[in-house]
Amino acid sequence: MNAMIKKAALAAAIASAAISAHATDLIGGGASLPGVAYVGDNFTNTTPQSRLSTNAALSAGFGYVQTTPNSGSIFDVFEQNNPSHTASYCQTGSGTGKRVLLGASGWLASGDCRDYSASPEGFSGLNALPDFAGSDAPLTADNIVTFQNGNQAARTNLVQVPALGAFLGLPINIQDGSGNPITNVDLSTADVCAIFDGSATVWSDVGVPSSQQIKVVYRSDGSGTTFAFTQYLAANCNSGSIPTFTTEELYSDAISLSVYGGRDVGGSGNGGVIDEVTGTPGAIGYANFSNVAVEPGLAYALVEGHDPANGGSINVAASDILIDQVLGDNDSVTGLPSPELLQPASLREGCLAVVDPAVQLEQVYPIVAFTNLLTYTENNNDPAATQALFTEVTAGSSSLPVGYARVASTAVSNIISTCIN
């Protein structure tokens, strides 16, 4: 009897070891724009706001605020469907997310994610290499060079798939002469241009009944949200042979901050922009609409009568998914990015997809971003778990918060199923 018990215990131990050996904590980070969809809004209820949402025991985040994914969020549903796995996400911003994944000098997944009280240094992972990253700014030709000099030696080539479309909102904090909040603001495209090119300095300049100075709140970090917003500004506000705006991840590269004459305030991440708008009378910023929507009492402007709360669907045709293309330099007149073939040709494995950036400018609600998931074609930590996560994000059953839409694409699902090892 005792021998049978010992054998049963040994078998159970072996089975347990086999299960734990296949348990994987997927470590990722990057864009803050998809944060509410990926992990829910628990992070918005911490002080300061948490960048890191995880159910894994990550020691590198010690000393900084972190939280867990909400029930029903994409990552929570992934973990329910794959009970031996977790998925950790650090909202560093797209620029840092890409640097960590590509292996830019000085950037490691094991660097501290931190929270919105300090700049992130990584994803708070236990290893130097990440499992995945998120970016609302697609890979560029320069990014490919960074990868060749960085993580390509350890993780072969790249996977990039469009994951979600998202509306950007324009949060506002405006008061009338009696100090009452003004919440019913409908800006024309020309008004938005005048505000962000600095020519409108008080709210009455754009027809809003307030004598408050306009304070422009922008993303201070490298950001795909900024990429999408400055592309909208470049498409609608430029004229003549020298562009006022260029499409950039860093807002201070898109336009000189001197045009605001000191009426500008920087904020890190979508959450940081919202905090600055909330605390700055006369302010307007730009952020993922779902972040705006979950902030109690925060007003936002309509654009040409369009409300991002009911902005309609986000439409992407099969022909809008570009394979083995990256973004090249901005056009010297329009300030808009141009896709070009991935170089060198040896990297063209059919594993790198991007939504044609022009499609962002063709939706009913006029300010739209697309967020991408990135990983490697080979030598992944756990390719099956990574595939399962990417599939849940792009084609899963979890409901999405207002302002998001999945990019439904056969090309995307084919890349996920064939390119990750």
Give the pLDDT score at 80: 96
Integer Cα distance of 282 and 299 in angstroms: 12
Residue partners of 142: CB distance under 8 A and separation at least 6: none
Angle subtended at Cα 63 by Cα 114 and Cα 371, rounded to the nearest 5 degrees: 20
**Is 388 a residue whose pLDDT tops 80?**
yes
Q: Helix, strand, coil proportions of the chain in percent (round to 5)?
A: 35, 25, 40
Note the pLDDT tens digit of each residue in 259-279. 999 999 999 999 899 999 999
60: pLDDT confidence band, cut at 50, 70 and 90?
A: low
Listed in order, strand segments (DSSP E) in 191-281 are 215-219, 264-267
Question: What CATH homologous superfamily does 167-310 map to?
Answer: Periplasmic binding protein-like II (3.40.190.10)
pLDDT-wise least confident of 25-34, 54-63, 120-129 = 54-63
**Is 223 a residue whose pLDDT tops 60?**
yes
Give the pLDDT score at 240: 87
Q: How many CA atoms lie within 13 A of 89 on its CB side?
A: 32
Give the pLDDT score at 20: 38
pTM of the shown model: 0.91
The token pair that represents 215 in the structure block: 């304070």
The token pair that represents 45 in the structure block: 């209820």
**Is 1 a residue whose pLDDT tops 60?**
no
pLDDT-wise least confident of 27-31, 104-108, 234-238, 291-295 = 291-295
Other beta carbons within 10 angstroms of residue 4's beta carbon come to 8
| Domain ranges (residues) in the chain | 24-165+319-328+337-359+370-419, 167-310
23: pLDDT confidence band, cut at 50, 70 and 90?
A: confident
pLDDT-wise least confident of 5-14, 220-229, 349-358 = 5-14
58: pLDDT confidence band, cut at 50, 70 and 90?
A: confident
**Is 102 a residue whose pLDDT tops 60?**
yes
DSSP character at residue 124: -
Note the pLDDT tens digit of each residue in 185-222. 999 999 999 999 999 999 999 999 999 999 999 999 99
Stretch 28-40: mean pLDDT:
96
**Is 245 a residue whose pLDDT tops 50?**
yes
Domains 24-165+319-328+337-359+370-419 and 167-310 in one fold: yes
**Is 4 a residue whose pLDDT tops 80?**
no
Stretch 89-104: mean pLDDT:
96
Give the pLDDT score at 379: 93
Q: What are the counts of helices (DSSP H) followed by strands (DSSP E) for the chain?
A: 12, 19
- Average pLDDT of the chain, as a whole number: 92
Stretch 353-377: mean pLDDT:
95
Q: What 3-state DSSP class applies to 72? A: coil
Give the pLDDT score at 146: 96
**Is 11 a residue whose pLDDT tops 80?**
no
Give the pLDDT score at 398: 86
Residue partners of 384: CB distance under 8 A and separation at least 6: none
Give the pLDDT score at 311: 79
386: pLDDT confidence band, cut at 50, 70 and 90?
A: very high
Return the CATH number of 24-165+319-328+337-359+370-419, one of 3.40.309.10, 3.60.15.10, 3.40.190.10, 1.10.3720.10.
3.40.190.10
**Is 335 a residue whose pLDDT tops 50?**
yes
Q: How would you classify the pairing of strands 215-219 and 283-284?
A: parallel
Name which of 59, 69, 156, 181 is nearest 376 in CA terms.
156
